[in-house]
Amino acid sequence: MGGISSDVIRGYNDTMILYLLLDRPSYGYEISKMIRAMSDEKYVIKETTLYSAFTRMEKNGFIESFSQMADNGKRRTYYRITEAGRRYYREKCEEWLLTQEVISKFISPQGTRALRDREWRV
Query: Where exactly are the structural domains of the chain?
Result: 6-119
What's domain 6-119's architecture?
Orthogonal Bundle (1.10)
Angle between helix 47-59 and helix 13-21 axes, rounded to 10 deg = 70
Distance, in Å, from the CA atom of 120 to the CA atom of 20, rounded to the nearest integer, reads 46
**CB-based contact 43:4 (threshold 8 Å):** yes
Which pLDDT does position 5 carry in this prediction? 72
Q: Which residues in the chain belong to E strands, given as ranges?
A: 26-27, 63-69, 75-81
Residue 40's region, left for phi above 0, alpha for psi from -120 to 50, else beta, is left
What is the per-residue pLDDT across 27-75, written as a single tens digit (0 to 9) for each? 999 999 999 999 999 899 999 999 999 999 999 999 999 999 888 888 9
Which pLDDT does position 110 carry in this prediction? 66
Distance, in Å, from the CA atom of 119 to the CA atom of 122, rounded to the nearest integer, reads 6
Specify the pTM. 0.83
